[in-house]
């Protein structure tokens, strides 16, 4: 057991855990933020995606002890400007069905738009193919990312 | 309801504040609401000072019931969705037998009932207002949660009328709105569950958070059919955080098996403890079982006569040309993205459950899928369920084996316990969609007319899996679903079923047996069309003797695909349709050859036939999803057993469709059907045969086995 400081959504949490515990379980069960989901435990489905310093990571594959207090973790409960734009696009295109994968999809999509504000359809497919949606909402996810990209660039200009 | 019992009920309701419950028992498949007695009161609308609540008894698993049920009630009640609170029910007795989701039944079976519930409440509120004002009910109107009297410019909110309305007699035949006046039904209204699902606020079963909760991971016999002999937990209990190690029985249908549950302060510790277990399994001879041997058994059994499903005319009459084919489909897993899980607290006799389930009614008492309390010997009155949003059902969560097991774990500790299955557990432990093999025989006349047809299904059985004493000589009609009800007018027909013994638990998988039988049936129709030298779409249309729904659907498909316009070189398309209990759709799949010779699935046209549509955008979403689920099962490795153990463990070895593989899906909705049909499943069965038929058109290779043995892009 070790005391670890995690900065999640701009709030610092001090937790006592086995440093080998995947970040996923620390976020869900110790910190209590349930929006990040467990899907496969092997980094194959993307349901557990969060951002570490703006980059999408699979929290089920990231030991909590590998993260320093200076690194910024963002989960679906975080409310950045870009994330809100992405969420609004998700509502506009009525993306979710069961919704279980969508936290991970949105965290991946937001990370994509941070590094590539105007992704092509191929960019989106390449980046998002690590996130499984068993309900099959991919076409809507693609449209929503394109809408979000458009709206984000508008907001920047204004 | 008698006035007497109504008053006593109001008194009871009154204890929780000024409350108006509308009681109509929800009878599955009923076309009219049954006015209930207080004893079987099933209230779906609650109006009190805090507002209007509509209860959704059909668990939300992505199919849109959360909105659909609320819309059907709210449309007639004259309230908008943002004026109400929607609550999913949790198997409470007062909400009745309809508390389950499956069979594409929410709108198909509930359309009139839910509307009548809303309409009855509206009439009662209008009557209450008219009595308050001393005017005729006809001079009042209901709108946006208020009753208005235009002549005197007076209005009262529903909340203000609740108490008086609860004393009004429930109308026997409430007047329903003319569909042309609908504000919500038939329109692409935004789903109220979606804002919860894009912000991480929707609570799924796995998100249960009970104070003092422990976590558990269960090691189950890797050989299906095996069970626990003995275990040594001495190393496991030393893992920091591990609290206790217990054995726990899981029951599914006629099968039961005992595993070893490690209970710990964190899920991570439970997993570490589980790795340290030493277990001796009793594999009962199943350790030598291989799927490939079982496939040979099914092939051999195809020579048997079988049990008759349906016969017409005589298939023994001589024909000009006999065509025979043999089709094979595999087991597949459901792969809901939310792994199986259940949280339970046992306090004395009381059992409190938090989980995702498609059958709340069966978890709290006798219902659609049997009675879980009866299996466990628990009094239904002692069970409290908290049913969350479901992170994917697809049929898997019609079975409550994971709840039974979690209760058996929780019984042995004082704290609440959350049992979470790993993805590998969820993939390898079943239940699975059964494999079906099909022996097809067709006869063409000299004029190339299809004059005889036989479909013999060889497979394990749902009923045999579900019941210990199922008579195996009887027809299991779930295994021949749809094969005798296609609208093809063929004078001589004989369909039958050969039962094959099996030891693996079977489960309904989205569109049930139609998901495999349609592949054999509709690919074979295609083979016959080619033998008859006819266009496969026109061949199907010409086999419709009357103006069937199928004919209309196929003609619409012909129109939206520009069927007569040839495709560019290197492209081809195939067609299929399927009409079964859940509904009807027809599809055309467009494929092309990539440079490396692999097949690319480019575009899918779907016509779905509905008697009515609640939310066209959601219908499209459901069809898009059904097509991608069918694509997964058509092109990706299935579930196979080797030495008794499931060979596929996670999404690397049993992949599901990813974004890069998803074709464009074009959906056309027809609402002139002769009856109200379902939405969630009908988009699935025609896809695999339409793809197989497209590949034949492209390559001249007839693929008769799923997953299709050809390289895909």
Three-state helix/strand/coil letters over B352-398: EEEECCCCHHHHHCCECCECHHHHHCCCHHHEEEEECECCCCCCHHH
Among the residue ranges B5-9, B288-292, B401-405, B645-649, the one predicted with the least confidence is B5-9
Confidence band of B216 (pLDDT split at 50, 70, 90): very high
Confidence band of B604 (pLDDT split at 50, 70, 90): very high
Q: Where are the beta strands (DSSP E) in B49-162?
A: 51-56, 84-88, 140-143, 146-149, 154-157
In this structure, what is the dihedral angle of CA atoms B494, B499, B500, B503, given to the nearest 10 degrees? 140
Q: How far apart are CA A65 and CA A23, in angstroms?
A: 8
- Mutation choice for A interface testing from B67, B197, B354, B419 by most A CBs within 10 A: B197
Report pLDDT for B49.
80
Cβ–Cβ contact A76 with B under 8 A: yes
Q: Is the pLDDT of residue B16 over 70?
A: no
In this structure, the strands spanning B84-88 and B51-56 are: parallel
Chain A residues touching B201 at Cβ < 8 A: 35
Report pLDDT for B2.
36
B423 with A42: Cβ contact below 8 A: yes
Burial of B18 (0-12, 13-18, 19+ CB in 10 A): middle
B64 with A98: Cβ contact below 8 A: no
User: Which CATH code, of 3.40.50.300, 3.10.20.30, 3.40.50.450, 2.30.40.10, is assigned to A2-74?
Assistant: 3.10.20.30
Q: Is the pLDDT of residue B321 over 90?
A: yes
Burial of B672 (0-12, 13-18, 19+ CB in 10 A): exposed
Average pLDDT of the residues in B437-453: 97
Which residue from A30, A35, A94 is facing B200, i.e. has the nearest CB? A35
Q: Is residue B23 within 8 Å of B41, Cβ to Cβ?
A: yes
Q: Is residue B525 within 8 Å of B490, Cβ to Cβ?
A: no
Angle, alpha carbons B490-B495-B496 (nearest 5°): 175
Contacts of B262 (CB under 8 A, 6+ apart): B216, B217, B218, B219, B233, B236, B242, B245, B270, B273, B274, B277
Which residue from B209, B629, B651 is facing A45, i.e. has the nearest CB? B651
Closest to B438 measured CA to CA, from B355, B323, B518 = B518
User: Which CATH code, of 3.30.420.40, 3.40.1260.10, 3.10.150.10, 3.30.365.10, is assigned to B3-198?
Assistant: 3.30.365.10
A133 with B337: Cβ contact below 8 A: yes
**C-alpha pair distances (Å), A145 with each of A49, A54, A87, B628:** 16, 17, 10, 20
Mean pLDDT of chain A: 96
Give the DSSP letter string of B41-54.
--EEEEEETTEEEE
Report pLDDT for B94.
83
Structure tokens given for A50? 């969060």
Which residue from A77, A95, A98 is facing B391, i.e. has the nearest CB? A98
Q: Give the length of chain A.
A: 158
Structure tokens given for B567? 């495709």
Q: How far apart are CA B383 and CA B362, in angstroms?
A: 11
Q: How far apart are CA B328 and CA A86, in angstroms?
A: 44
Chain B residues touching A129 at Cβ < 8 A: 658-660
Report pLDDT for A156.
62
Q: Where do the CATH 3.30.365.10 domains begin and end in chain B?
A: 3-198, 205-286+340-420, 291-331+432-699
B62 with A77: Cβ contact below 8 A: no
A96 with B622: Cβ contact below 8 A: no
Contacts of B160 (CB under 8 A, 6+ apart): none
pLDDT digits (tens, 9 = 90+) for B465-479: 999 999 999 999 999
Q: How far apart are CA B610 and CA B669, in angstroms?
A: 7
Q: Is the dihedral of CA B473, B477, B478, B482 positive or negative?
A: positive
HEC sequence for chain A: CEEEEEEECCEEEEEEECCCCEHHHHHHHHHCCCCCCCCCCCCCCCCCEEEECCEEEEHHHCEHHHCCCCCEEECCCCCCHHHHHHHHHHHHCCCCCCCCCHHHHHHHHHHHHHHCCCCCHHHHHHHHCCCCCCCCCHHHHHHHHHHHHHHHHHHHHC
A128 with B659: Cβ contact below 8 A: yes
A132 with B658: Cβ contact below 8 A: yes
Strand partners, B385: B353
Cβ–Cβ contact A122 with B under 8 A: no
- Mutation choice for B interface testing from A98, A122, A124, A143 by most B CBs within 10 A: A98
Q: At what angle do helices A102-115 and A138-157 cross, to 10 degrees?
A: 40
Q: Is residue B375 within 8 Å of B192, Cβ to Cβ?
A: no
Chain B residues touching A1 at Cβ < 8 A: 240
B423 with A132: Cβ contact below 8 A: no
Q: How far apart are CA B116 and CA B105, in angstroms?
A: 17
B199 with A102: Cβ contact below 8 A: no
A99 with B338: Cβ contact below 8 A: no
Closest residue of B to A21, CA-based? B268
Q: Is residue B76 within 8 Å of B37, Cβ to Cβ?
A: no
Closest to B665 measured CA to CA, from A151, A143, A26 = A143
Residue B35, Cβ neighbours under 10 Å: how many? 14
Q: At what angle do helices B158-165 and B105-133 cross, to 10 degrees?
A: 90
Q: Distance between the two ends of chain A, CA-based, in angstroms?
A: 49
Q: Domain coordinates of chain A in residue numbers? A: 2-74, 81-157
Which residue from B201, B269, B659 is facing A129, i.e. has the nearest CB? B659
pLDDT digits (tens, 9 = 90+) for B236-268: 999 999 999 999 999 999 999 999 999 999 999
Closest residue of B to A99, CA-based? B197
Closest to B507 measured CA to CA, from B434, B577, B611 = B434
Give buried/exposed letters for B349-378 (b at 16+ CB in 10 A, else e).
eebbbbbbbbbbbbbbbebbbebbbeebeb
B204 with A100: Cβ contact below 8 A: yes
Q: How far apart are CA B103 and CA B684, in angstroms?
A: 13
Burial of B641 (0-12, 13-18, 19+ CB in 10 A): buried
pLDDT digits (tens, 9 = 90+) for B39-94: 222 378 988 888 899 999 999 999 999 999 999 999 999 999 999 999 999 999 88
Alpha carbon of B312: minimum distance to chain A alpha carbons (Å): 40
B423 with A142: Cβ contact below 8 A: no
Report pLDDT for B36.
31
Confidence band of B1 (pLDDT split at 50, 70, 90): very low
Strand partners, B667: B606
Chain B residues touching A8 at Cβ < 8 A: none
Chain B residues touching A134 at Cβ < 8 A: 335-337, 392, 394, 629, 656
Q: How far apart are CA B483 and CA B493, in angstroms?
A: 10
Q: Is the pLDDT of residue B21 over 50?
A: no
Interface ipTM above 0.95: yes
Burial of B326 (0-12, 13-18, 19+ CB in 10 A): middle
A37 with B338: Cβ contact below 8 A: yes
Which residue from B198, B390, B625 is facing A102, i.e. has the nearest CB? B198
Chain A residues touching B658 at Cβ < 8 A: 129-130, 132, 138
Q: How far apart are CA B22 and CA B120, in angstroms?
A: 8
Alpha carbon of B389: minimum distance to chain A alpha carbons (Å): 8
Alpha carbon of A13: minimum distance to chain B alpha carbons (Å): 17
B337 with A101: Cβ contact below 8 A: yes
Closest to B231 measured CA to CA, from B277, B263, B273 = B277
Confidence band of B174 (pLDDT split at 50, 70, 90): very high
CATH of domain B291-331+432-699: 3.30.365.10
Q: Is residue B245 within 8 Å of B195, Cβ to Cβ?
A: no
Q: Is residue B689 within 8 Å of B586, Cβ to Cβ?
A: no
Q: Is residue B681 within 8 Å of B105, Cβ to Cβ?
A: no
Q: Is residue B336 within 8 Å of B402, Cβ to Cβ?
A: no
Q: Is the pLDDT of residue B295 over 50?
A: yes
Mean pLDDT of chain B: 93
Confidence band of A157 (pLDDT split at 50, 70, 90): low
CATH of domain A81-157: 1.10.150.120
Closest residue of A to B664, CA-based? A139
Residue B47, Cβ neighbours under 10 Å: how many? 29
Which residue from B268, B339, B423 is facing A18, i.e. has the nearest CB? B268
Q: Is the dihedral of CA B133, B136, B140, B146 positive or negative?
A: positive
Q: Is the dihedral of CA A131, A136, A138, A143 positive or negative?
A: negative
A76 with B200: Cβ contact below 8 A: yes
CATH topology for B205-286+340-420 is: Aldehyde Oxidoreductase; domain 4 (3.30.365)
Structure tokens given for B639? 């579930």
Q: Is the pLDDT of residue B562 over 80?
A: yes
A100 with B338: Cβ contact below 8 A: yes
Chain A residues touching B64 at Cβ < 8 A: 97
Report pLDDT for B672.
80
Give the DSSP letter string of B203-271.
-BGGG---TT-EEEEEE--SBTT-EEEEEE-TTGGGSTTEEEEEEEEEEETTEEEEEEEEEESSHHHHH
Closest to B485 measured CA to CA, from B607, B577, B610 = B577
B194 with A125: Cβ contact below 8 A: no
Q: Is the pLDDT of residue B318 over 90?
A: yes
Alpha carbon of A98: minimum distance to chain B alpha carbons (Å): 3
Q: How far apart are CA B565 and CA B353, in angstroms?
A: 58
Report pLDDT for B32.
31
Cβ–Cβ contact A42 with B under 8 A: yes
Q: How far apart are CA B625 and CA B631, in angstroms?
A: 10
In this structure, the strands spanning B641-642 and B645-646 are: antiparallel
Which residue from A18, A91, A99 is facing B190, i.e. has the nearest CB? A91
């Amino acid at each position: 057991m070790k005391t670890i400081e995690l900065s999640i959504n701009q709030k610092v949490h001090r937790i006592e855990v086995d440093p080998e515990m995947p970040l996923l379980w620390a976020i869900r069960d110790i910190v209590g933020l349930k929006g990040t989901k467990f899907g496969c435990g092997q980094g194959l489905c993307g349901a557990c995606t969060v951002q570490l310093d703006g980059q999408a990571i699979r929290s089920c594959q990231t030991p909590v002890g590998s993260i320093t207090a200076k690194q910024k973790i963002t989960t679906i409960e975080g409310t950045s400007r870009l994330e809100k734009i992405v969420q609004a696009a998700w509502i506009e295109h009525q993306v979710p069905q069961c919704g279980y994968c969508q936290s991970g999809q949105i965290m991946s999509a937001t990370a994509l738009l941070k590094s590539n504000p105007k992704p092509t359809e191929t960019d989106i497919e390449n980046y998002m193919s690590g996130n499984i949606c068993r309900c099959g909402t991919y076409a809507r996810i693609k449209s929503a990312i394109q809408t979000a990209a458009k709206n984000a660039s508008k907001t920047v200009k204004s | 309801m008698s006035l007497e019992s109504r008053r006593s009920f109001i008194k009871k309701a009154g204890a929780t504040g000024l409350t108006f419950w509308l009681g109509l028992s929800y009878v599955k498949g009923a076309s009219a609401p049954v006015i209930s007695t207080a004893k079987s009161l099933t209230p779906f609308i609650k109006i009190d000072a805090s507002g209007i609540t509509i209860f959704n008894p059909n668990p939300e698993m992505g199919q849109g019931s959360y909105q659909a049920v609320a819309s059907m009630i709210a449309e007639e009640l004259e309230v908008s969705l943002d004026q109400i609170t929607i609550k999913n029910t949790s198997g409470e007795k007062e909400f009745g037998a309809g508390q389950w989701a499956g069979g594409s039944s929410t709108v198909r079976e509930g359309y009139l009932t839910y509307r009548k519930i809303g309409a009855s409440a509206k009439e009662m509120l209008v009557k209450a207002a008219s009595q308050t004002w001393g005017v005729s009910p006809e001079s009042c109107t209901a709108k946006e949660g208020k009753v208005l009297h235009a002549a005197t410019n007076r209005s009262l909110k529903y909340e203000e009328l609740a108490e008086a309305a609860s004393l009004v007699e429930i109308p026997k035949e409430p007047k329903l709105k003319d569909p042309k006046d609908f504000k919500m039904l038939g329109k692409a209204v935004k789903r109220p569950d979606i804002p919860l699902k894009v912000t991480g606020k929707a609570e799924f079963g796995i998100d249960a958070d009970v104070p003092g909760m422990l976590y558990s991971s269960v090691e189950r016999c890797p050989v299906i059919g095996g069970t626990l002999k003995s275990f040594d937990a001495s190393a496991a209990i030393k893992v920091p955080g591990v609290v206790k190690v217990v054995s726990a029985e899981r029951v599914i249908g006629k099968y039961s098996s005992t595993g070893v549950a490690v209970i710990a302060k964190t899920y991570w510790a439970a997993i570490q403890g589980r790795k340290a277990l030493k277990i001796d399994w009793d594999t009962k001879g199943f350790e030598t079982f291989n799927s490939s041997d079982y496939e040979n058994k099914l092939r051999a059994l195809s020579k048997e006569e079988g049990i008759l499903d349906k016969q017409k005319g005589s298939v023994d009459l001589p024909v000009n040309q006999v065509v025979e084919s043999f089709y094979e489909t595999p087991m597949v897993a459901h792969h809901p993205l939310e792994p199986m899980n259940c949280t339970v607290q046992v306090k004395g006799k009381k059992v409190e459950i938090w989980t995702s389930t498609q059958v709340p009614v069966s978890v709290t008492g006798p219902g659609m899928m049997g009675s879980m309390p009866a299996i466990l010997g628990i009094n239904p009155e002692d069970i409290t369920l908290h049913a969350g949003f479901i992170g994917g059902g697809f049929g898997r969560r019609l079975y409550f084996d994971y709840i039974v097991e979690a209760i058996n774990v929780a019984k042995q500790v004082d704290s609440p316990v959350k049992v979470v299955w790993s993805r590998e557990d969820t993939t390898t432990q079943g239940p699975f969609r059964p494999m079906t093999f099909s022996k097809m025989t067709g006869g063409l006349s000299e004029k190339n007319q299809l004059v005889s047809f036989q479909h013999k299904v060889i497979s394990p059985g749902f009923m045999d899996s579900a019941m210990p004493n199922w008579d195996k000589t009887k027809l299991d009609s779930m295994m021949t679903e749809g094969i005798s009800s296609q609208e093809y007018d063929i004078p001589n027909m004989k369909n039958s079923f050969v039962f094959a013994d099996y030891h693996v638990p079977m489960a309904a998988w989205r569109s049930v047996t139609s998901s495999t039988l349609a592949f054999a049936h509709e690919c074979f129709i295609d083979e016959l069309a080619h033998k008859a030298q006819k266009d496969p779409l026109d061949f199907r249309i010409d086999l419709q003797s009357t103006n069937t729904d199928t004919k209309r659907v196929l003609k619409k498909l012909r129109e939206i695909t520009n069927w007569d316009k040839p495709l560019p070189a290197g492209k081809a398309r195939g067609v299929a349709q399927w009409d079964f209990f859940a509904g009807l759709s027809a599809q055309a799949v467009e494929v092309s050859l990539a440079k490396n010779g692999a097949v690319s699935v480019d575009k899918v046209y779907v016509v779905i036939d509905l008697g009515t549509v609640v939310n066209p955008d959601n219908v499209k979403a459901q069809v898009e999803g059904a097509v991608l689920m069918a694509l997964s099962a058509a092109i990706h490795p299935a579930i196979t057993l080797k030495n008794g153990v499931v060979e596929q463990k996670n999404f690397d070895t049993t992949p599901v469709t990813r974004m890069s593989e998803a074709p464009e899906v074009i959906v056309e909705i027809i609402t002139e059907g002769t009856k109200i049909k379902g939405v969630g499943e009908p988009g699935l069965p025609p896809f695999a045969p339409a793809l197989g038929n497209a590949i034949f058109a492209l390559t001249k290779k007839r693929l008769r086995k799923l997953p299709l043995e050809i390289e895909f892009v």
